[in-house]
Amino acid sequence: MTIFKVAAVLLTGFFVGLTLEGIARKIIARVQRRYGPPWYQNFIDVFKALSKHGFSHGWIFDFGVLMALGGVIATLSFVPLGNLVAFPGLDNVFVVLYLFAVGALGMAMGMVGSGNPNASIGVARALTQMLGYEVPYLVSLAAIIFYYKTSSISNLMNLQADSWNLFKMPIGAAVAFISLMGMLGKKPFDTPIAPAEIASGPMVELSSKYMGLLMLMHTFSIFVEISLFVDIFLGGGSYLVFLLKFTVVWIIATLISAVLPRFRIEQVVKFYWRVPLGLAFLQAFFVLIGWVF
């Protein structure tokens, strides 16, 4: 049974993720008064990349990509999609968040292993940015876990049947959303990729199936990140409701990123540690004294 559920989760991630990415491209294009590619463009991209003969920079390059994809797949399988929960009770928030780091580490390792300094710079920026957004995010999550006395995502989701956390703890939700923007690597937090500065950063040496696998990994990552937000702050719901909420969050994030310029990397850290972290502490304080709506 678990196997099927995991498969369902992964397939959802694949299809919904790629579709929504295509839609996002379309939306951005419309905001920028362009026509934009079709919604299925990303499927084409992935399969095209996967089918090409490419270049490898040695085994660590290959291994990094595999580790990245494997890590993210593992992470995704723990994320409850609405009532589609592969591992009920074992879907611990911290486990998911840190398992997620395996993928990031694998990607970073593989990309730096390519020997291109742009990749190294990109990874360094990505890690720094992570230091920025993770802390407020984790603190706001900590407040929620403290409030509900559980760290299982599905339990958290079920416990907000009466009212979403978005309304119970609006500040925490805002913080989590800002952090989500950083996680997604969307503007204004797309410093690690910054195509104009460091030639797409980590991805600079990628070609062919490596590119394809990394695109898959990227899609899954996005799926994990947004799913977490939806589960924890928007109350999850049934599978379809979940996908609806997911789409809404995704589109809002896309719209926001479409109109904003890019931060410099130290500005990112400064911003996250100043505003969202402060707000997260405020939220935690409210939770401590019982000011939860």
Partner 1 sequence: MSQLLLILFIGSFLVYLLTRMNWIIGVLANIGLAIYSFYRLFTFKVGTSESIFSLIVNQNGTLVYSELSKFFGIISLIVAISVYFFLINWLEKQKNRAVFNFFLALITASTLGVFFSGDLLTLYIFWEIMLLFSVLLVQMGKEDSKKAALNYLTISLIGSYMYLYAVFMLWNRYGTLVIKDIVQKISVETSIFKWAVLILIAAAGIAKSGIFPLHTWLRTTQGSSPDAFSAILAGQLEKLGAYMLVLTVAVFPSLKMFPVLYGGIPVFNYVLIVLGMISILIGTLMAIKQNDMKMLIAYSTVSNSGYILIGLATMDKIGFAGGLFHAFNHAIASVMIFLSFAAVIYRTKTSKIDEMGGLIWKMPLTFITYLVGIISLAGIPPMSGFISKWMIFVVLVKKGMFLTAAAAFIGSVGSFLYVFRPLAGVFLGQLKSKHKDVKEVPIFMLIPMLVLVVITVFFGVIPGPVLNMITAVEKELNIQPLEHTMTVIKSSVGQWNTLTVFTMFAVGFIIAFILYMVFPKAKRIPLTNQYTAGEFLYNYDLYHYSTRFYAFFERLYEKHPSVEKLYEMFGKFFKDIGEFLNRWFYSASPSAYLLWFSIVLLAIFWVRW
Judged by CB under 8 A, the chain residues 245 through 284 that form the site for partner 1 are 264-266, 269-270, 277, 281, 284
Per CB under 8 A, contacts with partner 1 among 113-152 are: 113-118, 120-121, 123-125, 127-128, 130-131, 134-135, 138-139, 142-143, 145-146, 149-152
Tell me phi and psi for residue 81, to 5 degrees: -105, 95
Q: Indicate which single residue of 24, 69, 85, 166 sits in contact with partner 1 (rule: CB under 8 A).
A: 69
First and final C-alpha spacing in the chain: 38
Q: In whole angstroms, what is the distance from residue 83 CA to residue 11 CA?
A: 15
Q: Tell me if 54 contacts partner 1 by CB under 8 A.
A: yes
Q: Tell me if 58 contacts partner 1 by CB under 8 A.
A: yes
Per CB under 8 A, contacts with partner 1 among 201-230 are: 204-205, 207-210, 212-213, 216
Q: Tell me if 159 contacts partner 1 by CB under 8 A.
A: no
Q: In whole angstroms, what is the distance from residue 58 CA to residue 273 CA?
A: 38
Contacts of 132 (CB under 8 A, 6+ apart): 182, 268, 269, 271, 272, 273
Q: Tell me if 44 contacts partner 1 by CB under 8 A.
A: no
In angstroms, how far is CA 30 from the centroid of its own chain?
23
Find the part of the chain contacting partner 1 (CB under 8 A) among 101-109, 229-237, 242-250, 254-262: 101-109
Q: In whole angstroms, what is the distance from residue 24 CA to residue 19 CA?
A: 9
Contacts of 161 (CB under 8 A, 6+ apart): 235
Find the part of the chain contacting partner 1 (CB under 8 A) among 15-23, 27-35, 44-52, 173-181: 44-52
- The minimum distance between CB 256 and partner 1, in angstroms, equals 24
